[in-house]
Amino acid sequence: MWKYYLRLSLHSLRKTPTLSLLMVLAIATGIAANLTILTMHSVVSSNPLAHKNERIFAVQLNAWDPDREYFALNAIPPQLTYQDAKALYDANVADEVVVMRKAGVTIQLPESTEIPSAYATRMTTRDFFSMFDVQFIYGGPWSKNADENPEHVVVISEGMNNKFFKGANSLGQAILLDGEIFTVVGVVSEKWQLVPNVYDLNNLPFEAAPDAYFPFFFSAAKPYQGWGNVQSWSNEEIRTHEDYLQSETIWIQAWVGLNSAEKRQEFSQFLENYISTQKEQGRFKRTPGYQLNSPQEWLNINDVVPKDNKQLLMLSFVFLMICLVNSTVLMLAKFLRKAPEAGIRRALGASRHSIFFQHLTEAFIVGAAGALLGLLMSMGGLAGVRALYSNYENVAVFNGVTVAAAILLALVATLCSGFLPAWRISHAAPAKYLKTQ
């Protein structure tokens, strides 16, 4: 039976090409706008570390100003001082410990005559690579020894490997970081990109992965150029790098991996002990003294989804609704115009039921065509979004959510815009239309 409906529908659509096209266009515009915004939103609000929500935690310590609370987020500083980060690392309680910072470093090949450029690097402990599921194409993380007494080892991105080594296996090769010789021990795949960058949400949550990684504790020897946030409340006099390391300045991000409930308990106990010993030295006067946050909690606290995005999401649904109403009006007009035809079919014995489904089929064809066209148009929409927002290269891309949403929207669009007209026509009294013939 549905084949017959399909034939009737196609015939009917062909008879009114302009109106059919207008309906498809209306639905397509609505779906395209909606898919574009929905895709953007689904990526912006996603959690790439959801599978580790129970196991890894961003560490916040509250050694901030006794006179006033931290001015943002959950009123606890998002970063640590050097002395606290060092203590956290040295305690060796957690299964994994990552202390890290973003630094701007010049990278060159030895003997290169090219003008040097500065790159965004991450100075970190080795557990970064396992904790954040970093994928390597060559080599892997450096050893634990290389962390503790920092060795001149570096992990570079695939992009850097292409630039400096033309994509060849560069393990064991030497490169200069700020003029010092480092040995390449790993190359990170360009496929590895957390969106958003859960591990460091201070500045740009959607920026590209770092160009290079090297041991964090080189920070103890010299300042390097910090490209992250540096904040302080204490007005201490900082004259030397040693003063800086001992100061209340916060500039380090810290994460711990705690694989079991016992470990979590043990680690909390460690922090409480640490804070109480620090209290004796006059630090940590605020409560709570610390907080551990799962990746999802950390994303929430840092308010990664921009307010504009939430408003655009709402707007896109209203927009879709307007387009659907528009298509419904046109469909209603069209069906009512064909009412005499339906009247004849009814008079010849077709049930209301079959008239209804015949027209719903027609609406479905329009809806499906609209969804398909909308999907194509939303690719253009996403290209537009990438052009509008800097740092959204990784955000405005198609994913499973988009396609699933397209199918769902097509169904909903059809039902919404086709149901009412189909119902109206199937309930029209046939006699009225027969008379005018």
Partner 1 sequence: MLDVIPIIKSLWRNKTGPLLIILQLSLTLAVVSTALFVVSERIAIIERPSGMIEAEMFKIWMRQNSPDVDMEQIAKRDMEIIRATPGVIDATPISSIPISGGGSSSSLYKDPQDKLTDFPTAIYETTEHGLAALGLVLIEGRNFNLDEINFFTRENPPKHLVVIITKDMADKMFPGESAVGKTVYMGKLPLTIIGIIERLMGPWPDVEFATSATLLPVMVKDDSINYLVRTESGQRDAIMHSLLEKLRSIDSTRLVGDEKSIEKIKRETYSSDYAMIKILSFVIFLLTFVNALGIFGLTTFWVNQRRKQIGIRRALGSTKAGVMRYFMLENVVLVAFSAVVGTIIAYVNSSYMARAHSMELLPVEYVLITVVFLLLVTILAAYSPVRRAAQISPVEAVSNV
Interaction site with partner 1 (CB under 8 A): 19, 22, 25-26, 29-30, 33, 67-68, 106, 113, 115-118, 178-179, 225, 235, 237-240, 306-308, 312, 315, 318-319, 321-323, 325-326, 328-330, 332-334, 336-337, 385, 388-390, 420, 424, 436
Q: Which sign does the torsion angle of CA 279, 282, 288, 291 carry?
A: negative
SS3 content of the chain, % helix, strand, coil (to 5): 50, 15, 35
What is the three-class DSSP state of 199? coil
Separation in Å, CA 415 to CA 316, 322, 426, 428? 19, 15, 15, 20
When the beta carbons of 19 and 91 are compared against partner 1, the nearer one is 19
Tell me how many degrees the CA angle 406-412-417 measures, rounded to the nearest 5: 120
Q: How far is the CB of 330 from partner 1 (least distance, A)?
A: 5
Question: Which secondary-structure segment (H or E) carries 156?
Answer: strand 153-157
Kindly provide the residue ranges of all beta strands, DSSP E only, lying in 178-301, ordered along the sequence: 180-188, 212-215, 225-226, 253-257, 290-293
Separation in Å, CA 196 to CA 159, 174, 339? 20, 32, 54
When the beta carbons of 108 and 183 are compared against partner 1, the nearer one is 108
Backbone angles phi, psi at 16, to 5 degrees: -125, 70
373 vs 27: CA distance, rounded Å: 9
When the beta carbons of 24 and 365 are compared against partner 1, the nearer one is 24
When the beta carbons of 191 and 307 are compared against partner 1, the nearer one is 307
When the beta carbons of 22 and 75 are compared against partner 1, the nearer one is 22
Q: How far is the CB of 312 from partner 1 (least distance, A)?
A: 7
When the beta carbons of 116 and 288 are compared against partner 1, the nearer one is 116
Q: How far is the CB of 322 from partner 1 (least distance, A)?
A: 5
Q: How far is the CB of 178 from partner 1 (least distance, A)?
A: 7
Q: How far is the CB of 253 from partner 1 (least distance, A)?
A: 18
Q: How far is the CB of 80 from partner 1 (least distance, A)?
A: 20
Kindly provide the residue ranges of all beta strands, DSSP E only, lying in 277-379, ordered along the sequence: 290-293
When the beta carbons of 32 and 271 are compared against partner 1, the nearer one is 32
- How buried is 237 (Cβ within 10 angstroms: 0-12 exposed, 13-18 middle, 19+ buried)? exposed
Q: How far is the CB of 65 from partner 1 (least distance, A)?
A: 8
Q: How far is the CB of 405 from partner 1 (least distance, A)?
A: 19
When the beta carbons of 322 and 431 are compared against partner 1, the nearer one is 322
Residue whose entry in the numeric block shows the structure tokens 């196991």: 55
Kindly provide the residue ranges of all beta strands, DSSP E only, lying in 239-349, ordered along the sequence: 253-257, 290-293
